[in-house]
Amino acid sequence: MDVLYALRARARQIIGPVLGCALCAYFAYHLVEGDRGLLALWNLQTQVHDAKATLAKFQAERAPLAQHVALLQGNHLDRDYLDERVHAMLNYAAPDEIVLYYDQPTK
């Protein structure tokens, strides 16, 4: 009887720290590997960095196009640019005009 009583007493002393360690291990695992853990955070930060790089690339491509569209809007039409576009797109010129073409340097 004394042995059984001693085992129960030791089990009561040990069960608290064992459960505490198990609980800490559970939360530590999910802190690193969980859906909202550190690894998921690093993956999201990488995706955000890649998305920002892609956005910057597309904005750089879009800026010259937006400038050309602004030159052709109806409220302040740039006639020189419109004439240049007509020559380039339609290959049209008046009979008495001399048109000189040159290659624009690529970036």
Single-letter residue type at 66 = A
Mean pLDDT of all residues in 58-86? 83
pLDDT in the model for residue 9: 86
Residues spanned by the domain of 53: 46-94
pLDDT in the model for residue 106: 66
Does 102 fall in a domain? no
Does 38 fall in a domain? no
Q: For the chain, what is the domain count?
A: 2
Q: Which residues lie below 8 Å from residue 99, measured CB to CB, with a gap of 6+? A: 87, 93
Give residue-wise pLDDT tens across range 20-53. Answer: 999 999 999 999 998 899 999 999 999 999 999 9
pLDDT in the model for residue 2: 86
Does 53 fall in a domain? yes
Q: Per-residue pLDDT for 107 more than 60? A: no
**Residues 52 and 28 grouped into a single domain:** no
Does 105 fall in a domain? no
Place of tokens 């999910």: 30
**Residues 18 and 51 grouped into a single domain:** no
- Global pTM exceeds 0.75: no
Give residue-wise pLDDT tens across range 45-64. Answer: 999 999 999 999 999 999 99
Does 72 fall in a domain? yes
C-alpha neighbours within 13 Å on the C-beta side of residue 79: 0
Mean pLDDT of the chain: 87
Q: Per-residue pLDDT for 12 more than 80? A: yes
Does 65 fall in a domain? yes
68 close to 82: Cβ distance less than 8 angstroms: no
**Residues 21 and 52 grouped into a single domain:** no
Does 89 fall in a domain? yes
**Residues 53 and 89 grouped into a single domain:** yes
